[in-house]
Amino acid sequence: MKVIAIIPARGGSKRLPKKNILPLAGKPLLAHSIEQARAAQSVSRTIVTTDSDEIAAIARDFGAEVVRRPATLADDTATSESALAHALQTLKESEGYVPDLVVFLQCTSPIRCATDIDMAVQMFSIQKADSLLSVCRTHTFLWRRGPDGAESVNYDYRNRRRTQDMPEEFVENGSIYVFKPWVLEKFNNRLGGTIALFEMGFWAAWQIDTQDDFDFCEWVMERHPTASSSVL
């Protein structure tokens, strides 16, 4: 199969300026996802889509191909789906290239390894899925504010269970998405059709949005080098 990894990395970031190229564990944040994708046996091409000259140069330095996207697809309101669709359309128009599968990697979820990507693609095939997302198991008791006060969401506080007796629940960790191109075309979404879950370990649940997230992920990556091991 033709499996392409696409990594969106725009230049603008309000909460953490230049987040995608800040040094994390000795290299730019973006570089971790590029290296993981290039080391995955299932991935045949690795593309970074960006509006930034600086990011494009770093992406090429670490061995990725670059698709330049317009500023209108890289502002605060632009979706990841718009960047993915633009990259796929650009490759189709310029090369006639249409992949069988797309692996979408967010560089803000760097705690993964190449084997995670390969196992996700394998799980996708085994499950006969149309799309897949990576998740981490959770036993969290969730609440929300309602019109009449606080409400328990995923359990009945009047009949509290032990966490080990809770039904299986998972949190989307943002690390790996796999989908057939038609899913994005039909639903304008990374997910659709038959959706599979790919479970990853506890440490892989963390994403980078703030400086605290950044510092924590760096601590994990430096002290737990196998933290991204998937759960099978």
CA within 13 Å, CB half, 191:
10
Q: Is residue 68 part of a domain?
A: yes
CATH assignment at residue 201 = 3.90.550.10
Mean pLDDT of the chain: 93
Q: Name residues whose C-beta falls within 8 Å of residue 126's C-beta, 6 or more positions apart in sequence.
A: none
Residue 199 backbone dihedrals phi, psi, to 5 degrees: -85, 135
Instruction: Print the domain residue range for 62.
Output: 3-223
* pLDDT tens digits, one per residue of 158-204: 998 888 888 889 999 999 999 999 999 999 999 999 999 999 998 89
Q: Is residue 232 part of a domain?
A: no
**Catalytic annotation, residues:** 160
Q: Is residue 93 part of a domain?
A: yes
Strand 131-137, strand 195-200: pairing: parallel
* pLDDT tens digits, one per residue of 29-58: 999 999 999 999 999 999 999 999 999 999
Q: Is residue 186 part of a domain?
A: yes
Cα–Cα dist 221/62, whole Å: 19
Report which residue type is found at 14: K
pLDDT of residue 126: 97
Q: Is residue 12 part of a domain?
A: yes
Cα–Cα dist 194/129, whole Å: 5
Q: Which of 173, 170, 169 has the alpha carbon at shortest distance from 213? A: 173
Burial class (CB in 10 A: 0-12, 13-18, 19+), 168: exposed
Number of domains in the chain: 1
SS3 state at 180: coil
Q: Is residue 228 part of a domain?
A: no
Cα–Cα dist 37/22, whole Å: 19
Q: Is residue 229 part of a domain?
A: no
Q: Is residue 85 part of a domain?
A: yes
